[in-house]
Amino acid sequence: MRIKLIILILFYLFLGIKPVFAVIITMSNIPPTITDEQFTFDVSVSGASAGTNYLRVDLYKEGSTNYFGETYNNDIWYGGSDGKQYFPITILSGQTWNGSIQGRIGNPTVGEYPGPRNYKLRLRRYTNSGGLGTTDQTPQDIQIVFTLPTPSPTQTPTPTPTPTPSSTSTSTSSFTISNIPSTIDSTEVFNVSVNLSLSGKPNTVFYLKGAFKKQDGTNYFGLTKVGDFWIRNNKSYLDHYKITTDSNGSWSGNLEMQPDILDSGYEGAGEYIFKVGRYTEDRSLSWSNETTIKINAQEVILEDDDSDILGITGTQSKQDTTKSSKKEIEEYSLEKYIKVASPASQTKATTSSQVNVKNQKQTNLFIWLGLIFIFAGAGSIGYIYLKKNANLRIPFGK
């Protein structure tokens, strides 16, 4: 009996079931309705092992295994079978990953997408090796209102009418930016020309924002000027630059931009990807073409009460000199002091010429008076003590 008990204990110690830690995926801020355009939502991944994982956007009809959809992997839209071609995320040991992901319906078949109705949205997770990982998640409801085009059976013998709708759709559906500088300073304000042509979106409201990111990064940053305010990239899409297309679905104009050097996405001097995002009123996000901008970093000197100051003219480095022991008079350009606010905060950007900031310590009259009283009091106490206890006669008046 004892031998059987020992064998049973060894079995549980060495061959027993190991604890399994579930990988939990949570989706939020999902647009309730989407079309054939791309959409964005937020994701958190917890419980995964450290390393690179890959996320894939799946759309499907409830009760079906006919999945469709494409995922943007920071380079191209992908919907194939290679798990390592999907959206990459970096999992740190013991930490939860939080970020945003972009998807679209792609080119589904009639069997996968029979038409407008409610569908399910989920994320598929691939591990560092490209294999499919297990996850615990709750698929979310999403309504798709896009109608698949009906193929024409006479397309080959009558080619003239067939290309007409496709060529019209392609030529009049564009979202481009131009007149972008190739090099800027980190505190420099510049203009971007935006041209929007969406034949199917006449008299439609959109919200525009400019954004920078590193080539292989996913952390967007930037400041877009709206009226008298500078709006950060992570503010609500309703705070960004509001436009309305004309009766033909077109709009063109300029955005005033500046890097947000206090954002964690800014990594100092170097090359960054720049593009403009377009939000619909239901929060779906589409991007323009992108270009590369080289940013020459400016030195940042922050005092304790200057957390909302973006930059001042200096040398080619990004640093915080709050604890610096160097005390001297420095001349700052207030044109570089741009305060970030949403329109609701009613805080406007400060723009004046120059001001001298003195860091020198000045003598305080009250300190000197206090020292005089302290020395006088100490002398009086010493005099009284000596007179009473030592019987010394010290002349101090009559």
Question: Per-residue pLDDT tens for 279-291?
Answer: 998 888 989 999 9
**Full-model pTM:** 0.42
Rounded average pLDDT over 162-184? 72
How far apart CA 369 and CA 367 sit, in angstroms, is 6
Tokens representing 121?
A: 């949205």
Give the whole-number percent of the chain exceeding pLDDT 90. 54
pLDDT at 149 over 50: yes
Distances (CA, A) of 297 to 122, 168, 183, 234, 259: 41, 44, 11, 22, 10
Which CATH entry fits the domain spanning 24-144: 2.10.260, 3.40.50, 2.30.30, 2.60.40? 2.60.40
Strand partners, 292: 273
Position 289 scores a pLDDT of 93
Question: Per-residue pLDDT tens for 105-142?
Answer: 999 998 899 999 999 999 999 999 999 988 889 999 99
What is the CATH T-level fold of the domain 168-296, as seen in this structure?
A: Immunoglobulin-like (2.60.40)
Position 329 scores a pLDDT of 35
Relative to beta strand 205-213, strand 270-279 is antiparallel
Say whether 168-296 and 24-144 share the same fold.
yes
pLDDT at 181 over 60: yes
How far apart CA 340 and CA 349 sit, in angstroms, is 7
**Which of 301, 308, 312, 310 is closest to 347 using CA atoms?**
308
Position 155 scores a pLDDT of 58
Q: Residue 231 — pLDDT band, cuts 50, 70, 90? A: very high
Tokens representing 106?
A: 């792609």
Which own/partner contact pairs does 118-121 have at CB distance under 8 Å and 24+ positions apart? 118/62, 118/142, 118/143, 119/59, 119/60, 119/61, 119/62, 119/143, 119/144, 120/59, 120/60, 120/61, 120/62, 121/27, 121/30, 121/41, 121/57, 121/58, 121/59
Higher local confidence (pLDDT), 167 or 300: 300
* 312 contacts: CB under 8 Å, gap ≥ 6: 187, 298, 299, 300, 301, 332, 333, 336, 337
Question: Per-residue pLDDT tens for 35-68?
Answer: 999 999 999 999 999 999 999 999 999 998 899 9
The alpha carbon of residue 11 and the mean position of all alpha carbons in its chain are separated, in whole angstroms, by 50
Higher local confidence (pLDDT), 134 or 1: 134
Position 351 scores a pLDDT of 40
* 8 contacts: CB under 8 Å, gap ≥ 6: none
pLDDT at 352 over 80: no
**175 and 286 in contact (C-beta within 8 Å)?**
yes
Calculate the average pLDDT of the chain.
78
Q: Residue 331 — pLDDT band, cuts 50, 70, 90? A: very low
Position 372 scores a pLDDT of 84
Tokens representing 260?
A: 């947000």
pLDDT at 324 over 50: no
Domain range summary for the chain, segments of one domain joined by +: 24-144, 168-296
Q: Residue 145 — pLDDT band, cuts 50, 70, 90? A: very high
